[in-house]
A and B are shown apart, each in its own frame.
Chain A
Amino acid sequence: MVMGTFIGREIILPATKRAFQMLKPRFLAKNPVMFVVEVGSLITTLIMFRDGATHDPDFSFTAGITAWLWLTLLFANFSEALAEAQGKAQAASLRSSRQDLVARLLEGETSRFVPGDQLRKGDLIRIVAGEMVPGDGEIEKGAASLDESAITGESAPVIREAGGDRTGVTAGTKVLAGEVTVRISTDPGHTFIDRMIGLVEGATRQKSPNEIALTILLVGLTLIFLIVVASLPAMASYSGSPQSPTVLIALLVCLIPTTIAGLLPAIGIAGIFRAFKANVVAKSGKAIEVAGDVDVLLLDKTGTITFGNRQAFGFHPALNVTERALAEAAWISSLSDETPEGKSIAELSRNRFSFGDPPADCSYVPYTPQLRMSGVDSKTKSVRKGASDAIETFVGSPLPEDVSRIIAEIGNSGGTPLVVAENRTVLGVVHLKDIVKPGLPERFRRLRKMGIQSIMITGDNPLTAAAIAKEAGLDDFFAQARPEEKMNLIRKEQEKGRLVAMSGDGTNDAPSLAQADVALVMNSGTQVAKEAGNMVDLDSDPTKVIGVVEIGKQLLITRGALTTFSVANDVAKYFAILPAMFVAAYPSLSALNVMHLATPKSAVMSAIIFNAVIIPLLIPLALRGVRYRPIGATRLLAVNLLVYGVGGIIAPFVGIKLIDMGLSALHAF
């Protein structure tokens, strides 16, 4: 995503306006706890008017309480509106890149230009170099290199081509070179990005099961505190200390978990937004949360764990042959070799040794499946590189023993031996290897600390697979795997009660993607794959799953931490309000006034003010999310309990006292 995440003026102003709009009861009823606050605020407002009309000495107190009750609601609404606005700003920047695009629609033999938003699913369009891609779709013919910086922020060109697994193109990106025929895969407004925008804008956001469970808990607590406060008038009058409705409503609002209830929507929206920031488009909030629960990660080898193609790793000359001679021959035979292997051999030789100019009259002999060799012919010599038995045929005699030994060693270590010969002499063996992408071992270690096992699936032979797995730091691997076995593996793990995440891109991945609990699909992948998965990675980075897992966990932790904090706050509020309520009838209860608050009225007011002000103070935490550290569940819980539990008990003692001191200084109440 291109845009940053600053909360600037352009976000705050509309958010504030929306906060007021959200006061409508119909809207607030979706959040039962805040709805109770609203009903309470309406009642105190009526009392305030009555007190004002009768010039009651309590008027200023009631007015103050009423004002702060409404502010509590506004602050809560503001947090949700702010989170939405943040997401909308992001979405707007994305949308703008997709507008005003023109498409070359193919109809039979002719073509005509239409606006991008008139394209429908199934339409065929043609894009040439220099043009923008007008709609999401799959390449049916041709290949091109694209600049996807509009959606990924990364300007290095990527290749997309027909056939295979990298057929997907996204609207708003630019074709740098090549020409492609693309079939549009979705109607406008229904692409994954459109759906994500809908999620962030809150319109189509459904509560995830976890959020529903937490809401049930909060509603239950609210009901309990409702009965506590509802039974108080009878108890209080029996004890000779009748209470005013204003104070009772103030007590109720302080007790019910307004802090977490107010911030809960914002937390959920911010979670989706953070995934968006990581260039992951989720189909629902639930998808991100499930990611936090993943136990097993399934990864492909080629392209995910290793770079796509094998690379030259080293030269092993035969007896009586120098490494330089081997390297030179290998270099010469790779000069016209366009394959990645050939290029890497050439590069390795050049890096190791410096050669002069190549012989002038070389003619390139390309690789064929029949020959299983490639090389170069010149007037003086013929150089070949290829499979060991092919070279054997070329030189016309069995390979020397030392060379055979080298071949066996390389094979056992999981590499691919490429034998090089010049005329009738076997010069030696080039060791080709799968190169593991850098940085992976630390990432898998981090996953392991989170309790997630990483498993590699590959069609390679077990030896090669074992070597790669060890080098990359994986927990396990599955070799010689056929595509359908991937799905069986997922099902087996799920039967054990574990949740499985995988990344994929091809159509043949679709059944496995559908079976997995978390399926991250590369944006470069096919439409079928994208439909089967529940998240799309715009960076087409298969290891992105790790980041999504952390975002999922962060979401849950933020909810839990703020709930604990919210409930823990109630302890101090009792110590403020209970003495205030009853000290008139029972002076000895002043011993409970541990904060030494000035007067009963200022005590109640301070508690209400704290209850309101804590919400905007915690907005940054709600939006940013509590930091997740993979230190093991028990230690993490201990830390969070300490900070939010114990901290939640202590903080309001300090806060309420400070507010009370402020009120005294202002000679209010």
Chain B
Amino acid sequence: MTYHSISQMIVFFLVAGLSAPLVGRYLAWIYEGKDTAVERGTYRYLGIDPDSEMTWKTYGQTLLASNALCFLIGFMVLWFQGSLPFNPRHLPSLSAPVAFNTAASFVTNTNWQAYAGEAQLSNLSQMISITFLMFVGAATGFSALMAILRGFVRSRGATVGNFWKDFFRFLYRAFLPACALMALILVEQGVPQTLKEIRTLHPVDGGTQTLVLGPVAALESVKNLGTNGGGFYNANAAHPFENPTPLANMIEMFGMLTFTFSLPFLFGRLLKRSRQALAFFAVIWILYAGGYGLMQYSEQSIAPAIASMGVGSPVSEAMTPGNMEGKETRFGITQTSLFSNTTIAATTGAVDAAMDSLNPIGIGVALFHMFLNEEPGGKGVGFAGFLKEAVLAIFLAGLMVGRTPEFLGKKIEPREVKLAMLSSLVTPVLVLGLTGLALLLPAGKAGIDNPGPHGFSEVLYGYASGNANNGSAMGGLAASSPFYAVSIGIEMLFGRYLPLLPLLALAGSLVRKPIHPRTAGTFETDGFLFVVLMLGFMVVVTALTFLPAMTLGPIVEHMFMRTGGAF
């Protein structure tokens, strides 16, 4: 790494890291105090009372019902796209499997795209299906997190909050303003924001080039701040119109982390335990930074088979050589590695390079982040999953110090362990089960683009991404084929709501318990040892679950690549 790479990394880490506590504090603040006039008006229109608290069951039902109706609208818009107005290019409707997949994808904050962005969607669809669902998915995730956090914060309570109030306070007071601001900054850097859809260019060499334009910046900011990830264009953030400059790249990365890195600090603020927030953040940070280090190392190498052709670049003029397949010149290896690591870790899924062209170690890093799904994870639900891991790790640690385990003063009893385990079962069952299924059936095998272990990784990646509600893909996989559209579509819904419900139930179970005071016999969860415990537990359990699959994919591909082999 050059001085140039290191300085970019340091600046970005500093900005992201230092802003997290501030944003966390702000997010804690937005739930205090009285409703604004706009909020009151909204609640009146909806006909609900924002101060009536819900049990975990009611909260879950409300969340599901509201999401279901949004899903319906999003689906209809895409299924009837051909018949709707404001479609100047007369693009046809999406097929039912793809429309289903897309609506499911965006409402679950996955943003997996089984369609090719600008080639298949009219601007109207981009607005009232895609952008609309992006807001819904992101704000829903955040609300669910608030409910879960209250389970820890409240002592001997019975309720976990009000879904509508959680949703709109976040939307009005944090999400929308931030999106608007970021959108304008991005426009300045070159991201289009217009309602005119087509522009025909007449290059000097002759012929024509057709540009597709639209309200890209508005979508771009929601895409990042909401850790959604669905791009306007097929090439996502590799497209110069979505991501025109290195600064735009940095801003979009920062957007992904804004509301996710801050979550430990939000929690710490609610608990009034700032050291605890630092401990959580340290775990998340180490996994995130470690992933980046590996990703950078991975992409800095050129495959021996290619290097032997005499390909390479001397390190000069602030350029780091490496695997440039599927990457953009203006970002280079360093910013691409930063972006790729960040987007997967934050389960955003937007990409500024082609994941299918990454070196095997890079793919391995991406996969591992998706299996972990919690550092920091996406809008809300990732951090909730992190807390679930903490419940299990502390259960084990509590046993080892001879005391019935307690986390933040709440005793961890059989019911909590059961709910946490239920939530943990979803990822391996969905990812491994579906990957196995796809590799067995001809329909699944037909959708694989690259041969050998790289192709294996394509399938594994697809299901890992769907389950983690990540949304990035190794583009060679035939995502629009009915087999993958339907299987991944269903998986996204299960991958989001199935773990979420036990987590809400966990909150409901925890909220009723008293908070015990600390004694010398309690294992403290805000020190160095806790960080080590969490890292060890998360990494070991995840590795043990996915090592066979990783071996047959990226690990063996890496060994092949090292010797210059190919399939």
- Which residue numbers of A lie inside 8 Å of B, CB to CB? 209-210, 212-214, 216-217, 219-220, 223-225, 227-228, 230-239, 255, 289, 292-293, 295, 448-452, 496-498, 552-557, 559-561, 563-564, 567-568, 570-571, 574, 578, 582, 586, 588-589, 591-592, 628, 632-634, 636-638, 640-641, 644-645
Query: Are B402 and A552 within 8 A (Cβ)?
Result: yes
Chain B residues 67 to 114 lying within 8 A of chain A, measured CB to CB, are none
Q: Quick check: A216 and B545 within 8 Å, CB to CB? A: no
Q: Contacting B436 at CB < 8 Å: which of A231, A293, A559, A645?
A: A231
Are A239 and B552 within 8 A (Cβ)? yes
Which residues of A have CB within 8 Å of B425? 220, 223-224
- Docked Cα-Cα span, A554 to B422, in Å, equals 29
Given contacts A233-B436, A238-B445, A496-B517, contact A633 B523 (CB under 8 A): yes
The answer for the CA separation of A592 and B547 in the assembled complex, in Å, is 12
Binds A, one of B41-49, B53-61, B196-204, B556-564: B556-564
In the complex, the chain B residue whose C-beta lies closest to that of A591 is B559
Q: How far is the CA of A104 from the CA of B524 in the complex (A)?
A: 60
Taking a contact as CB atoms closer than 8 A, the residue among B396, B521, B549 that contacts A451 in the complex is B521
CA of A637 to CA of B397, assembled, Å: 7
Stretch at the interface among B249-257, B299-307, B316-324, B412-420: B412-420
Sampled A-B contacts (17; CB under 8 Å): A212-B414, A213-B413, A214-B399, A227-B429, A230-B436, A232-B548, A235-B548, A451-B520, A451-B522, A452-B519, A497-B515, A498-B519, A556-B402, A567-B540, A568-B540, A588-B560, A641-B532
For B521, the chain A residues whose CB sits under 8 A away are: 295, 450-452, 633
Q: Is B401 an interface residue (CB 8 A)?
A: yes
With A220-B424, A235-B439, A497-B516 in contact, is A557–B400 under 8 Å at CB?
Answer: yes
Which one of B402, B422, B547, B565 has the greatest number of beta carbons of chain A within 10 Å? B402
In the complex, per-residue mask of B523-536: 1 if CB is within 8 Å of any chain A CB, else 0: 11001010011001
Partner of B421, one of A217, A578, A588, A628: A217
Q: How near does chain B come to A271, taking the closest CB pair, in angstroms?
A: 12
- B396/A563 in contact, CB under 8 A: yes
A582 near B402 with CB under 8 A, answer no
A347 vs B562: C-alpha distance when bound (angstroms): 92
B17 an interface residue at 8 Å Cβ cutoff? Answer: no
Which residue in chain A gives the minimum CB-CB distance to B513?
A: A497
* CB contact between A450 and one of B413, B517, B520 (< 8 Å): that residue: B520
Residues of B within 8 A of A230 (CB): 432-433, 436
B514, A497: Cβ atoms closer than 8 Å: yes
A234 to B456, CA, bound (A): 11
Residue in B closest to A561 when the chains form the complex, CB atoms: B400
Cβ distance A382 to chain B, nearest Cβ, rounded Å: 59
Q: Is the pair B402, A628 in contact by a Cβ cutoff of 8 Å? A: yes
Quick check: A235 and B536 within 8 Å, CB to CB? Answer: no
CA distance A450 to B543 in the complex (A): 35
Q: Mark contacts of B155-198 with chain A using CB atoms, 8 A cut-off: 1 yes-contact digit, 0 otherwise.
A: 00000000000000000000000000000000000000000000
Q: Which residues of A contact B560 (CB under 8 A)?
A: 586, 588
User: Closest 4 CB pairs between A and B?
Assistant: A560-B399, A451-B521, A553-B402, A220-B421
Partner of B536, one of A224, A292, A645: A645
A260 to B560, CA, bound (A): 39
- Decide yes or no: A633 and B551 within 8 Å by CB, A554-B402, A557-B401, A588-B556 being known contacts: no
* B392 is an interface residue with CB less than 8 A from chain A: yes
**Contacts of B514 on A, CB cut-off 8 Å?**
497
- Docked Cα-Cα span, A227 to B445, in Å, equals 21
Q: Complex: how many Å from CA A450 to CA B514?
A: 22
Q: Which residues of B contact A570 (CB under 8 A)?
A: 544
Does B273 sit within 8 A of A, measured CB to CB?
A: no
Bound: A233/B439 CA distance, A = 10
Assess whether A633 is in contact with B524, with CB atoms less than 8 Å apart: yes
Q: Which of A589, A634, A644 has the most CB of B within 10 A?
A: A634
* Residues of A contacting B533 in the complex (Cβ-Cβ under 8 angstroms): 637, 641
B395 within 8 A of A: yes
Do A637 and B552 contact each other (CB < 8 Å), given the known contacts A231-B432, A234-B436? no
B359 at interface (Cβ–Cβ under 8 A)? Answer: no
Given A560-B397, A589-B559, A632 and B453 contact (CB-CB distance below 8 Å): no
Neighbouring B residues of A557 by C-beta, 8 Å = 399-402
Known: A498-B519, A564-B396. 14 other contacts (CB 8 A): A213-B395, A213-B418, A220-B422, A235-B439, A235-B548, A292-B404, A450-B521, A451-B521, A553-B401, A556-B400, A556-B402, A560-B399, A589-B555, A636-B401
B interface, CB within 8 angstroms of A = 392, 395-404, 409, 412-414, 416-418, 421-422, 424-425, 428-429, 432-433, 435-437, 439-440, 445, 453, 456, 514-517, 519-524, 527, 529, 532-533, 536, 540-541, 543-549, 551-552, 555-556, 559-560, 562-563, 565
Residue of A nearest to B556 (CB): A586
- B432 with A227: CB separation less than 8 A: yes
Q: Which residue of A lies closest to B536 (CB)?
A: A645
What are the residues of chain A within 8 A of B403 when measuring CB–CB? 292-293, 553, 556, 633
With A224-B424, A636-B402: A588-B436 Cβ-Cβ less than 8 Å: no
Partner among B422, B435, B527 whose Cβ is within 8 Å of the Cβ of A235 = B435
User: In the complex, A555→B520 CA distance in Å?
Assistant: 19
| A524 CA to B230 CA, complexed, in Å | 75
Among B395, B548, B559, the residue within 8 A (CB) of A578 is B548
Give Cα A645 to B562, complex, Å. Answer: 33
Bound-state Cα–Cα, A233 to B425, Å = 20
The residue on B at minimum CB distance from A628 is B402
CA of A225 to CA of B565, assembled, Å? 32
Q: Which of B401, B445, B514, B552 has the most CB of A within 10 A?
A: B401
Q: How far in angstroms is the closest Cβ of chain A from B438?
A: 8
Inter-chain contact A231/B402, CB cutoff 8 Å: no
Closest Cβ–Cβ distance, residue B17 to chain A (whole Å)? 26
Contact yes or no, B556 A582, CB < 8 A: yes
Q: How far is the CA of A586 from the CA of B552 in the complex (A)?
A: 9
Closest beta carbon of chain B to A66's beta carbon, Å: 23
Which residue of A is nearest B514, CB measured?
A497
Min Cβ gap B193→A in Å is 45
B436 near A224 with CB under 8 A, answer no
> Are A633 and B520 CB-contacts (below 8 A) given A213-B417, A561-B400?
yes
A231 to B436 alpha-carbon distance, docked (Å) = 5
Chain B: CB-nearest residue to A646: B536
The docked-state distance in angstroms from the alpha carbon of A305 to that of B486 is 73
Most chain B CB within a 10 A radius of its CB, from A230, A289, A552, A633:
A633
Instruction: Choose among A224, A232, A450 the residue with the greatest number of B CB atoms under 10 Å from its CB.
Output: A224
Query: Is there contact, CB below 8 Å, between B523 and A634?
Result: yes
Q: Which residue of the partner chain A has the closest CB to B524? A: A634
Question: Which residues of chain B are within 8 angstroms of A555 by Cβ–Cβ distance?
Answer: 402
CB pair A236 B414 closer than 8 Å: no
B432 CB contact (under 8 Å) in A219, A228, A450: A228
| Distance A527 CA – B418 CA, assembled complex (angstroms) | 40
Given contacts A228-B428, A239-B453, A582-B556, A636 and B520 within 8 Å (CB-CB): no
Q: Are A227 and B529 in contact (CB under 8 A)?
A: no
Bound-complex Cα distance A594 to B562 (A): 18
A230 to chain B, nearest CB (A): 7
Q: Which residue of A lies closest to B432 (CB)?
A: A231
| Inter-subunit contact B552/A216 (CB<8 Å) | no
The reply to whether B433 and A227 form a contact with Cβ atoms under 8 Å apart is: yes
Smallest beta-carbon distance B241→chain A, Å: 38
User: Considering the chains assembled together, what is the distance between the CA atoms of A452 and B544 in angstroms?
Assistant: 38
Contact of A497 among B401, B404, B439, B517 (CB under 8 A): B517
Nearest CB on A from B512, distance (A): 13
Q: Which residues of B contact A571 (CB under 8 A)?
A: 540, 543-544
